[in-house]
Structure 1
Amino acid sequence: MTSVMSELLRLEMAGWESLCDGSGDDFYRQIMTDDGVMVIADGTVLDRDAVAESLRDAPAWSSYEISDERVVTVGPDAAALVYTGHASRPGDEAPFVAAMSSVYVKQAGEWRLALYQQTPLAPPPGR
């Protein structure tokens, strides 16, 4: 596994952990670039402040899984982590499954999230 892959996976998993423990609003306010956006499953585009606000009282995820991950180099200080994400909340009939892309840029030596996008997928049979 490349260094960039391991760094971005570590950040992505930290984001998911924050969504599981209820601290996602603080995590994403800190990690997103000033002009960063998220394009969520229903097509809504949220800027950093709207992301943090939407996560403040959002129900926590109980579990998540990242699979089929790969890194696409976008430039000398930018890379996209592309993967399939599976996540569940208590009481959900089926997990949320989506193709996810997180574009990170290095600012002042730290990876920051500039763009996150999710496209819902049908859950695999038996999940």
Structure 2
Amino acid sequence: MSAFTLDELLGLEHAGWTSLCDSTGGTFYGELMTPDALFVLVNGAVMTRDEIAASLDGAPGWESFEITDARLVDAGEDAAALIYRATSSRSDLAEPFTAIMSSVYRRVEGRPRLALYQQTADMSSRST
């Protein structure tokens, strides 16, 4: 049995994207991430929890987002990964941002904590 349910992790991801829409992502992810957690972004940047927390509060917010094709991968007694496609838009971008997201969670002192987040370019969504 997985340490997490699909609905539990989707709820956290929706809350995270909502924080990115209202420009409070630094606070949200600063609290959710483990001290040694990393974000691996689609542009190749690797950022620590402190770097993420410092960079997201006040950043331009997304106007909308959609999460589709979510899958839960059991990773042991206290860990799981959520894989999904996210599409988000903002008026200053010519096209929506679409990527495959992988979020690895660990249960720490009974609480879900984000240990690793990775974005992978979704080439299937690009126009030719």
**Other-structure match for 1:59:** 60
List structure 1 runs of 4+ shifted beyond 4 angstroms: none
CA distance in 2, matches of 1:120, 1:58: 21
Does the 8 A contact of 2:20 with 2:61 survive in 1?
A: yes
CA distance in 1, matches of 2:8, 2:91: 30
**Other-structure match for 1:41:** 42
**Identical positions, percent:** 49
Amino acid of the structure 1 residue aligned with 2:90: R
TM normalised by structure 2 equals 0.92
Q: How does 1:84-99 map to 2 (within 5 A)?
A: 84-99=85-100
Offset from partner CA, 1:69-127 (integer Å, 9 cap, x none): 0000011110000000101112321100001000000001110000000012247378x
* Unpaired segments ≥5 residues, structure 1: none
Secondary structure of the residue aligned to 1:57 is coil
* Unpaired segments ≥5 residues, structure 2: none
Does the 8 A contact of 2:24 with 2:58 survive in 1?
A: no
User: How many pairs does the alignment contain?
Assistant: 125
CA distance in 1, matches of 2:54, 2:64: 22
Report how far residue 7 of structure 1 moved: 0.3
Q: How does 1:1-127 map to 2 (within 5 A)?
A: 4-122=5-123, 124=125
Report how far residue 47 of structure 1 moved: 0.5
CA distance in 2, matches of 1:23, 1:41: 21
Secondary structure of the residue aligned to 2:5 is helix
Does the 8 A contact of 2:66 with 2:87 survive in 1?
A: yes
Q: RMSD between aligned alpha carbons? A: 1.6
CA distance in 2, matches of 1:123, 1:94: 14
Amino acid of the structure 2 residue aligned with 1:66: I
Does the 8 A contact of 2:39 with 2:117 survive in 1?
A: yes
